[in-house]
Amino acid sequence: MKTQIPRVVIAGTGSGVGKTTLTIGIMAALVKRGITVQGFKVGPDYIDPTYHTAVTKRESRNLDTWMVDSEIMKEIFIRGSLGADLAIIEGVMGFFDGKDPLSDRGSTAEISRLLNAPVVLVINAEGVARSAAAMVLGFKRMDPRINIAGVVVNQVGGYRHYQLVKKAIEDVTGIPVIGYLIKNQIMSIPERHLGLVPAIERGELNPLFQQLAGSIEEHIDLDQFIQIAKKAKEVIVNHSPMFQSLSERRYPVTIAVAKDEAFHFYYPENLELLEQYGARIQYFSPLAGETIPINADALYIGGGFPEEFAAQLTAQKKVIADFREKISQGMPTFAECGGYMFLTEEIIDHKGNSYEMVGIIPAKVQMQQRLAALGYREITALMQQVLLNKGETARGHEFHYSRLIPTIENYPYAYKVKGLGGEFSDGYHQENLVAGYTHFYFPSNPNMVIHWLEKAVEYQKKR
């Protein structure tokens, strides 16, 4: 597998420097020109790809070199870029920030190097002039293998300030400055949080996207940006593709996938791997009162924010009863984060209001004011289960504002989790159900798909 698609990484000197605003604006401006743009996001993030998808009308994908190796990451990039004219890869945090401070593993810098992608670096120029050159020079020299091909300066005081910064950067570093954003003039995207996603998907932010496109057209040299993208070198995958015809293993089963405003965080590759092995995906909306499809052989309940829709969910008595019945009857089920919360006995919101949920998991969920967990997770199964054999591992990430409180002793935890905070037990296990806060990334261990589909075939025969 290989590709020569034009591509650019939009990186930043740090978080909050304006990467997402610039990325969305450039995407919107290029789409206005009739260019088919494919978006990507470095790292495990569901929110920013939702913006990309809304603007480009193509499903944005995550690129990560911690959850999978570099060859699989490149394969995901090549597959995702098929049919596009140009790819834009939005970075994460600061350019060199990754899993730890001693390497670039998992960083935007590593992704740009592995994909032979030129980089447009976004810097905050507020209160500086020549000092901006020192900032860019440091990023240029940090790793000579990386091609920082352009700079955009954000938060400038006006055109004269921009000219001072531009001259300094280009004189000291030789890197062209291709545009600027004036402080407080360009509208920033709203604060990114879970509850914003439905607004994006309903099109409520389309006027904002068009405003951003107009500002980008005025202040960024898009022709130069495209020329930078066209200088990207070929990307080659040096292994047998993970996503290929798998005729020796086909599982003709139906996976019911809950998808609506309450449950919608799914890695595209998770669903595509299921399809690669012969499964058919059938979506349904619990929030809209839809029960599990009658022909379903397995159930997937992804992340989201059921707490935002707790009152509506608890009112869907028929849906709750159906979930309880189907899972109790042995339907192979995987629930992650928001799905995990939905299967507990109750969700308690910030004000202390309690909402009854499915009740198949003996626990309750208490919402927190602060972020309760964030970061990469490595999972080791504590026993044989729907997705993993005992001792088998997988990788994923965690992000939530809630705390789970078991309501029984000897809660049947599903796996050991290793993260930056150490090791701890998490998840819930029954013979046909595995649920937990971690969002699993199936490409990190495709055996998860095989195990699950084999269980689905067994259930199909029984029913």
- pLDDT, tens digit, 9 for 90 and up, residues 42-92: 999 888 999 999 999 999 999 999 999 999 999 999 999 999 999 999 999
- Cα 379 to Cα 383: distance, rounded to the nearest angstrom: 12
Q: Which of 132, 181, 337, 358 is catalytic?
A: 337
Which two structure tokens, joined as six digits, stand for 158?
Answer: 């006006």
Position 190 pLDDT exceeds 70: no
- Cα 349 to Cα 204: distance, rounded to the nearest angstrom: 26
> At a CB cut-off of 8 Å and minimum separation 6, what does 368 contact?
401, 402, 403
Contact call for residues 287 and 322 (beta carbons, < 8 A): no
Distances from the Cα of 461 to the Cα of 322, 451, 452, 458, angstroms: 20, 16, 15, 5
Q: For the chain, give the percent of residues with pLDDT over 70.
A: 95
Which two structure tokens, joined as six digits, stand for 283?
Answer: 């979506």
- Cα 17 to Cα 122: distance, rounded to the nearest angstrom: 7
The tens digit of pLDDT for each residue in 204-262 reads 888 888 999 999 999 999 999 999 999 999 999 988 788 775 546 789 999 999 999 99
The strand order across the sheet containing 422-426 reads 422-426, 415-419, 373-381, 393-400, 439-440
Distances from the Cα of 454 to the Cα of 74, 173, 337, 385, angstroms: 29, 57, 24, 12
Q: Which of 434, 202, 399 is nearest to 304 (CA)?
A: 399
Q: Which of 283, 313, 314 is nearest to 299 (CA)?
A: 283
What is the pLDDT at residue 103? 86
> At a CB cut-off of 8 Å and minimum separation 6, what does 318 contact?
289, 291
Query: Is 337 an active-site residue?
Result: yes
- Cα 229 to Cα 58: distance, rounded to the nearest angstrom: 19
The tens digit of pLDDT for each residue in 396-439 reads 999 988 999 999 999 999 999 998 778 999 999 999 999 999 99
> At a CB cut-off of 8 Å and minimum separation 6, what does 356 contact?
314, 320, 345, 346
DSSP 27-66: HHHHHHTT--EEEEEESS-SHHHHHHHHHHSS--EEE-SS
What is the pLDDT at residue 31? 97
Q: How confident is the model at residue 151 (pLDDT cuts 50, 70, 90)?
A: very high
Pinpoint the residues of the chain covered by CATH 3.40.50.300: 2-236
Indicate the residue type of 356.
E
Q: How confident is the model at residue 196 (pLDDT cuts 50, 70, 90)?
A: low
The tens digit of pLDDT for each residue in 256-281 reads 999 999 999 999 999 999 999 999 99
What is the dotted CATH code of the domain comprising 254-462? 3.40.50.880
Q: Which of 204, 231, 222, 228 is nearest to 29 (CA)?
A: 222
- Cα 450 to Cα 446: distance, rounded to the nearest angstrom: 7
> At a CB cut-off of 8 Å and minimum separation 6, what does 228 contact?
8, 118, 120, 149, 150, 178
How big is the CA angle at 48 (ends 233 and 154), to the nearest 5 degrees?
75
Pinpoint the residues of the chain covered by CATH 3.40.50.880: 254-462
Residue position matching structure tokens 């009863």? 321
What is the pLDDT at residue 248? 67
What is the pLDDT at residue 200? 72
Superfamily of domain 2-236: P-loop containing nucleotide triphosphate hydrolases (3.40.50.300)
Residue position matching structure tokens 């499964």? 279
- Cα 11 to Cα 121: distance, rounded to the nearest angstrom: 5
How many helices (H) and strands (E) are present in the chain, helices listed first? 14, 26
